[in-house]
Amino acid sequence: MDEELGLNEDDFNIPPVKYEYLDHTADVQLHAWGDTLKEAFEQCGMAMFAYMTEMDYVQIKEVHTIEANADDLMGLLYHFLDELLFLFSVEPFLICKKLVITEFNTQEFRIVCKCFGEEFQIGRHPQGTEVKAITYSAMQIIDVPKDNKYEVFVIIDI
Amino acid sequence: MDEELGLNEDDFNIPPVKYEYLDHTADVQLHAWGDTLKEAFEQCGMAMFAYMTEMDYVQIKEVHTIEANADDLMGLLYHFLDELLFLFSVEPFLICKKLVITEFNTQEFRIVCKCFGEEFQIGRHPQGTEVKAITYSAMQIIDVPKDNKYEVFVIIDI
């Protein structure tokens, strides 16, 4: 018995582990802005990619074009991000360094976007957080600009 | 213009960053079990501490005693974990290596527990995930044992 610490020999025996961790769920809110709504959308897409890896390690080596269509503006933002996520999740596994929306139609809710980047490669690119899904949860699109700033807020599941 | 890649010089210009990340929220479910409900509670407490750091780095250097009281069994589990979290969050900043419940009263819903461990020190102990709060969300206590196994499920905010 260690009188000073109040510990005896048996106190140092460690029981076996009988626990585990389940159902880790998480989300993060992306907040992006720009001088135009188009720029805010581009920045929001980049916010998502920058969450997946460190941008410093990503180079522009190829360009791909995506299209998104929807029935309203929030749907457009959702599908735009979802298309980007799809571009990353399957062939060409593109991690983007830059997004340039070449068609931004807020009447017919249609986006065409050039996506500049390279194939994601574990080892070359630090693995950030996996983005599991885009959500409509608490989505905000500020298209009447405050201080000449257009803004979007999107929560993504990670 | 690089014809092969379809990229021109301007495509390599990177826009400024106009985004940020807000409101990162997350939780994880602890699942612990034991030959007795008392053991399942002890294991659940250890599951929480093991989430905060790597147990291999923690030594038993001191012992502290906590008490938890409640009006029902779920309340007892909640307050037990909350007392342990408190032990970590303020003086003595104890990270536990072993928990021994010395009084486990499921009639009057009272726990007394000896907490063996040492002061958490950044640098010596790898920083795991901060536990922000215990929750009652989807809490389950299986006190009618299946296959002689008592189980508890607790979701903690991280």
Q: pLDDT tens across A102-139, in order?
A: 999 999 999 999 999 999 998 899 888 889 999 999 99
With cut-offs at 50, 70 and 90, classify the pLDDT of residue A148: confident
Q: Token pair of A76, please?
A: 């457009």
| B27 vs A contacts (CB less than 8 Å) | 23-26
Which residues in chain A touch residue B20, judged by CB atoms under 8 angstroms apart?
31-32, 47
Residue B104 in tokens:
């486990």
pLDDT exceeds cutoff 60 at A1: no
Can you give the pLDDT at residue A155? 95
pLDDT of residue B4: 53
CA atoms lying within 13 Å on the CB side of residue A118? 14
Amino acid in position B11: D
Task: Give yes or no for B1 touching A (CB within 8 A).
Answer: no
| Region B42-68 average pLDDT | 95
Which of A13, A26, A50 is closest, CB to CB, to B26?
Answer: A26
B88 has a pLDDT exceeding 90: yes
Highest mean predicted confidence (pLDDT) among A89-93, B4-8, B111-115: B111-115
pLDDT over 70 at B84, yes or no: yes
What local confidence, expressed as pLDDT, does residue B25 receive?
A: 83
Nearest to B47 among A19, A40, A43 (CB): A19
pLDDT at residue A4 is higher than 60:
no
CA distance A35 to chain B (A): 10
Highest mean pLDDT among A5-14, B74-83, B147-156: B74-83
ipTM, two decimals, is: 0.82
Within chain B, residue ranges assigned H as helices are 37-52, 73-89
* Closest-CA distance of chain B to residue A100, Å: 9
Query: What are the angstrom distances between the C-alpha of A99 and each of A111, A132, B5, B33, B151?
Result: 12, 21, 16, 49, 50
Q: Residue A20: closest CA among chain B residues belongs to which residue? A: B31
Q: What mean pLDDT, rounded, does chain A reach? A: 92
pLDDT given for residue B140 in this prediction: 96
Distances, alpha carbon B139 to alpha carbons A142, A145, B1, B156, in Å: 39, 44, 61, 10
Q: Which helix (H) or strand (E) holds A52?
A: helix A37-52
Q: Report pLDDT for A137.
A: 92
Mean pLDDT of B69-76: 97
Q: Which long-range contacts link B101-105 to residues 24+ away (Cβ below 8 Å)?
A: B101/B38, B101/B41, B101/B42, B104/B37, B104/B38, B104/B41
Residue A38, pLDDT > 90, answer yes
pLDDT of residue A129: 85
Residue from the list B6, B12, B18 with its beta carbon closest to the beta carbon of A33 = B18
Of B49 and B21, the one with more pLDDT: B49
Task: Read off the pLDDT of each residue in B108-114 and give the average, rounded to a whole number.
Answer: 98
pTM of the model: 0.72
- What is the per-residue pLDDT for B23? 76
Cα gap A57→B59, rounded to integer Å: 39
- What does the pLDDT read at residue A2? 46
Q: What mean pLDDT value characterizes chain B? A: 92
Residue in B28, B34, B62 closest to A21 by CB: B28
